[in-house]
Structure 1
Amino acid sequence: MYILQKFFKQLVVNKLGIFSFTFFIVIISSIVMRILEPETFPGWFDALWYVMTTVTTVGYGDFYPVSVAGRIYAIFIFLIGIGIAGLAIGKLVEALGAHRKRKEEGRLNFKGKGHFVIIGWSEKAKYAISEIIETHPELDIVLIDQLNVTPITHKNVHYIQGDPSSESVLLQANINDAQSVLVFSDDSIQDSALADGKTLLVVTSVERLNQQIHSTVEIKKEENIKNFRHAKVDEFVLSHETVSRMAVRSAFSRGITEIYTQLLSYKEGENLFEVRKKGEWKTYKDAFEGLLKEGATLISDGSDLGINKKLNEPIREDARLYIICSKEVYESLT
């Protein structure tokens, strides 16, 4: 009796043991019932069906033992099988609950590839995630922050809790296989120099682990951009200066904020897209006129906005052509 008590005590603790023992009981019971009552259970599956319905419910009554030996063994299934099966189901529910809790707390590793990593939770990060989901619903997003639980729930958003400058945390987010990272400045730090210093530490850690990743960084002071150049950051967003300049522009050019809104959001009107050079486009004029016929306007090659001044010049092979058009026009071009 002591041995049985010790066995069942260990069984309750060991999840794998519970599932293994449950599987063993079901298979052995199916074999025993098939041997004891071959006429009642003409096939092995019939015996398995009877055992499964007995240990998980009260049975359907389509099969039932008629011999004394069969009924005695059925009593064993009632007493032992139902208890073990119930324990296994309980452990399964417990495991699923624990997994969900770990996911909400950002304790699970992300295994996907080609995802977008966002570092630092704020209202800006919230809107960025919303914009990504709106424009690329198939893209996985990994959010890294130090909150106790995930601040956002979406099937494509995966939360990682921890210090974003830590290598282990970045590896947990699978930064090595990410295609792009967006680092937001820490709004809880009032000193702009300290905030930019923390951002620099984070993006340096990211670039060290994945030199091919496309990085976009929010910076509070424009004078600090030169420090980020050494970290091979691809894009910079000046949080305070950009908003201030846009506000001044709108004060002198009324209605210009509508243009900003359309260009900055895929949800509003015309949008900014990048297109590849086509074979028939030899000069910028060819591209400009060809795109215009399709309903798109060519505005730049990379950061060069002087397209109108060099329409007759040949297009570079590595040109990055940016156009303004509707989403429908862009899709027809691609």
Structure 2
Amino acid sequence: MKKWLHHFNQLPLLARFFTFAASMVVIFGVLVHLIEPTTFPTIFDGIWWAIVTTSTIGYGDFVPATFTGKFIAIILIVVGAGFVTTYFVTLSSATIARLQQKLNGGTSYMGKNHIVLVGWNERSKALISHYTKYKDNTQIVLIDNTAEENPFPHERITFIKGKPYNDETLQRANVASASQMVITANQHLDEADSDKEVVLTILSAKGIGENVYCIAEILTNEQVKNAQRAGADEIVRTNEQTSNLIINTLSSHGMSKSIESLLQEEDVSHIHLELINTEWETKSFEELQSHFLKERKIVIGIKRDEINLINPAPGLYLMNGDELILIS
């Protein structure tokens, strides 16, 4: 008995309420059937009457006729109706509390193959907007310590409030089961401190989910090596890329708009990488260009290991593992 009570007390509050209510309905249903077998011919009739009575509906199809039966009904009405009311009030309160907890970032994410996004800013806002618009089933877990509540309420967005380098925060985001993680620079810190936080977050995330593909935004050149050592799979050097774009725009007016059109937010990116298949290994870069032009794709270069060969010699032959840099 003590063991059963122990297990019962371990159940969630709503489960205990439901178990107690169901037990009470069955007990009173059986009891009224035994007391008045003529009025309640079957146990099911008794249980039906108990359910209708506790829910305060009162169809009147079954009514106790004896004093004992009426006394049982009084007890059921006083205890049962009050208990059911309390149950629904508790259920409503628990639902509201759970929704509020989710809105305030106090919940946890239990799914898999999701994207963990660190930091709420214009970059993360654009990323979430893109994925909620074009990627049907992609779930995103947003980690941020500055927002008071979910800044982007959406059925596919889970908000986790907390410091991104804390194990407890990363575990609530279920980083170990995530497919990708994007760590953006902290706009509330200066560049050096922001990069240090990003590196620390990479270390913490890789310690929990070593297989998650980690993309990190680094602002200063000094921290690029540290981010690589920490385990970043890919580094986005925002300041350097912006500087190069400005330099190119100075020498070629209108270049910024051209670059933006290549990287614009669409269902399919204009510029992307494509791994070569075995039949292309014997082809030259010039032959490959002719092949893809028929598909309205332009090959602008080859990624070989970690080296990007932009506009290589036409006679360069492809090797196993090469990736094509395509514009489509």
Compute the TM-score of the two structures, normalised by the length of structure 1. Answer: 0.81
How far does the alpha carbon of each residue in 1:165-207 deviate from its partner, in whole angstroms, 9 at most, with x for none? 11222122111111111111111113x2222122211112222
Identity of aligned residues (%): 25
Q: Is it true that 1:319 corresponds to 2:312 in the alignment?
A: no
Between Structure 1 and Structure 2, how many residues are aligned? 311
Q: Deviations over 1:109-162 (max 9, x none)?
A: 221111111112222221122122233231111111113422221111112222
Contact 1:299–1:323 (Cα < 8 Å) also in 2: yes
SS at 1:218 equivalent: strand
The one-letter amino acid paired with 1:92 is: L
The root-mean-square deviation of aligned C-alpha atoms, in Å, is: 2.9
What is the CA-CA distance between 1:82 and the residue it aligns to?
0.7
SS of residue in 1 equivalent to 2:271 = strand
- Kept in 2, the 8 Å contact 1:261–1:268? The answer is no
**Alignment CA distance shift 1:33-1:258 (3 Å):** farther
The runs of at least 4 consecutive aligned structure 1 residues that moved more than 6 Å come to none
1:149 aligned partner: 149
User: What are the superposed Cα offsets for residues 189-231 of structure 1, whole Å, 9 maximum, x if unpaired?
Assistant: 13x2222122211112222323322111111223431232222
Where do 5+ consecutive residues of structure 2 fail to align? 1-8
1:265 and 2:264 are equivalent in the alignment = yes
User: What amino acid is aligned across from residue 158 of structure 2 in structure 1?
Assistant: H
Against the structure 1 CA distance between its residues 15 and 278, is the aligned structure 2 distance closer, same or farther, given a 3 Å change threshold? closer
Distance 1:160 1:268 in 2: 27
Moved more, 166-175 or 253-262: 253-262
Structure 1: which 5+ residue stretches go unaligned? 1-9, 326-334
- Equivalent position of 1:4 in the other structure: none
Residue 189 of structure 1 pairs with residue 189 of structure 2: yes
Name the structure 1 match of 2:63.
65
Structure 1 residues 24 and 301: CA distance shift in structure 2, 3 A: same
Aligned to 1:292: 293
Q: Tell me the equivalent position of 1:5.
A: none
* Cross-structure match for 1:3: none
Q: Quote the residue 2:313 is aligned against.
A: 309
Q: Could you say what secondary structure the match of 1:159 adopts?
A: strand
Aligned CA distance change for structure 1 residues 89 and 249 (closer, same or farther; 3 Å): same
Q: Counterparts in 2 of 1:105-184, with a 5 A limit?
A: 105-147=104-146, 148-184=148-184
Q: 1:54 to 1:287 in 2, by over 3 A?
A: farther
Q: CA deviation at 1:310?
A: 5.0
Partner residue, 1:94 = 93
1:331 — aligned with what?
A: none
